[in-house]
A and B are shown apart, each in its own frame.
Chain A
Amino acid sequence: MLVLLFILFGAMAIGCGLAVVAQRNPLYSAISLIGVFISLACLYVMLAAPFIAAVQVIVYAGAIMVLVVFVIMLLNIQEEEHRRQRLKFLVPVAVALAAVLIAEVAFILVSVQDSHVMPASATTSDVGVTQSIGTALFTKYLLPFEITSILLLMAIVGAMTLARRGGLLPSRERDTRE
C-alpha cells in the first residue's frame, strides 16, 4: 500500500517537474511547479513528517507561488514563440552538470547500501513532529533561527526600499499627490 502511494506521488512529482521545464506557457509551468510542491508534501506525510508537509504547502504552494502566478497574470506574458535559441552554448554545460548530479546520486545510493549501519530507530523517529522541531529551533538552534529572522526582516525592508523610489519614508507631499 505504502509503496503504491510512494510510486503514485513520486511519479506525480517527476511528471510535474518535467512539465515545469517542458511547458512553453509560463503559467502552465507555474501550475506544474505547484503540482511538484503538493506531491512532495504528500511524500513528506508518508515519511511521518506532517509538519514539514504542511509548511511546504503553506509557504511554497500557498504564498510564494501565489505571488509568481500573480506576477505572470499581471504582466500577461504570452506564450513564448518558437524562436532560435540564444543560449545555445549553455546546452553542453547543462548536460555536464546533469551528469555530475546523477553521478553524485548514484554514489550516495551505493555508499548507503554498502554501509551496514541501520538508521537509529527509524520507526520511532520524531524528526518531523511539530514539538521536536519547535524545541530544536528554540533551544539548540536559537542563534541561527534569530539570525535568519533578522536576515528576512532586512530582506523585507530592502524590498520596500527598492520598490518605493526615493527612500523608505513616505514624504508628505507624495502622500497628498496620491
Chain B
Amino acid sequence: MDAQTAIDIILKFVAITVAFVVVLLVVAYTVLAERRVLGFIQGRLGPNRVGYGGLLQPFADLLKFILKEDIVPDKSTRFVYFLAPVIATMAALMTMIVYPFGPEIRIPFTDIIIPLVVTHFDVGLLYVLGVTSVGVYGIMLAGWSSNNKYSLMGGLRSSAQMISYELALGLSLIGVIILAGTLDLAQIVEMQSGWHGFRWFIFFHPLGFIVYLIAAIAETNRVPFDLPEAETELVAGFHTEYSAMKFALFFLAEYINMFTVSMLATTLFLGGWNVPFLADIFAPGTFLFGFFSALGFLVKVIFFLFLYIWLRGTLPRFRFDQLMNFGWRILLPFALLSIFLTATLVFLFPNLF
C-alpha cells in the first residue's frame, strides 16, 4: 500500500465521520422538533427547560438513555437480542455515504476542492434500497428474540408491512431512473439542474412522487402506518423488552430512516441541492454557491421531516387489514401506472430528456 492510497483511505474515514456526525446532530434535533411541534399541535408547550427553549434537550435525553438500567429479559435469545439493535442502526447509517449533500465546495482563497458526497457509487440508488431492506431484520429479530407475545406480533407486522410497501416504493422510483438514465445519485441531481435549477423530476413524475411519499412513511413505520408499535394493542411492539441504550438505538434507527427517506425524496424528486436561480447569482464552483446549495438541500429535507411530524400530530392509525389492502390494491397499481405514464412521456418527447 503506497502513501496515496493511505491518504485516500484516511480522507474517506474523515468524510464518513463528518457525514455521520452531521446526520446524528440533525436527527437529535428532529427528535426535539417533533416533541415541540407535537406539543404546539396539541396546545401545550413541549420540552423547553433544558437550555434556551429546550435546545439542550437531546443531550439530556442521551445522558438519560446511557445512565438507565439495562434490563435483559431472562428467557430472551441472548445473541440475537443484542444483534437486533445493531443491525437496525447499522443499516440505517450505512446509506449516508452515497447522498450528495451539495456540489463541490472550494474553500475560499485556496485551491482545495471538497466534494460534499462521501463516495460516488455506480448503483447508488440500488445500494440505498438494498441496505434499507436489510434494516427490516433488526425489527424482526428484535421481535422474535425478546420472547414476548407483543414483541413477536410487532415484529411480524413490521416485516409484513415492510415487504409489502417496499414493492410500491421501488416501483415509484423506476420513473426517476427512466428520466435520469442512471442510478448514481450525484448524476441524478445533476440531471435536474437545467431550467435555472428548476428542472425537478417531480414535474415529470408527480404520481410516482405521491406513491413514494406514502410508501416511505410506511417503510419507516411512522404514523399513520405505525402498526408495529401500536401502543393500544401491542404495548410498544417490537421494542417492548428493550430498555436504556438498546432502546435508544432503535429510536435512533427510526429517526435516521426518516432522514434517509427524506433525503432520497429530495434527491430524486425535488432536485437535490439545486436551488432555483442560484446559478444566476453566484457562479457555480464558488464557495457561496456550494454553501447555499447545501443549505437548500437541508431546507428541503427539513420540509419533509416537518411533514412527518405534522402527519403524526394529525392522522389516526390504520387498521392492519386496511394497511394491507391499501398497499396492495391501491398503492401498487398507482405505482405501475406512474411508470407507464412516465415511460410514455419519455417515449413521446425524447428530445426533452
Q: Closest CB-CB distance, A37 to chain B, in whole Å? A: 10
List chain A residues, Cβ under 8 A from B160.
70
Given A1-B1, A69-B137, A73-B152, are A57 and B159 neighbors across the interface (CB < 8 Å)? no
Stretch from A47-55, A84-92, A101-109, A163-171 that touches the partner: A47-55
Measured between C-beta atoms, what is the minimum distance from A35 to chain B in Å? 11
Within B159-210, the residues touching A (CB, 8 Å) are 159-160, 162-163, 166, 183
Task: Report how far A129 CA is from B137 CA in the complex, Å.
Answer: 28
**Count of chain A residues with a beta carbon within 8 Å of a chain B beta carbon:** 25
Interface of B is mostly: helix
A61 at the interface (CB under 8 A from B): yes
A62 at interface by CB-CB < 8 Å: yes
The answer on a CB contact under 8 Å between A51 and B123 is yes
Beyond A57-B134, A66-B136, whether A73 also contacts B123 by CB under 8 A is no
Question: For chain A residues 43-100, which have a beta carbon within 8 Å of chain B?
Answer: 50-51, 53-55, 57-58, 61-63, 66-67, 69-70, 73-74
- Judged by a CB distance under 8 angstroms, whether B76 is at the interface is no
Whether, in the assembled complex, A12 has its beta carbon less than 8 Å from a beta carbon of chain B, the answer is no
Encode B126-143 as 1/0 by CB contact (under 8 A) with A. Answer: 110111011011001101
Q: Are A61 and B156 in contact (CB under 8 A)?
A: no
Known contacts A73-B143, A73-B155: does B183 contact A63 (CB below 8 Å)? no
The distance from the CB of A20 to the nearest CB of chain B, in whole angstroms, is 15
Q: Check B134 against A62 for contact (C-beta < 8 Å).
A: yes
Give chain B interface residues in 59-109, CB to chain A under 8 Å: 80, 83
Chain B interface residues toward A at CB < 8 A: 1, 5, 80, 83, 121-123, 126-127, 129-131, 133-134, 136-137, 140-141, 143-144, 152, 155-156, 159-160, 162-163, 166, 183
Starting from the known contacts A69-B159, A70-B140, 15 additional A-B residue pairs (CB-CB under 8 Å) come to: A1-B5, A31-B141, A34-B137, A54-B130, A57-B133, A58-B126, A58-B129, A61-B130, A62-B133, A63-B133, A63-B163, A66-B163, A69-B137, A73-B140, A73-B156
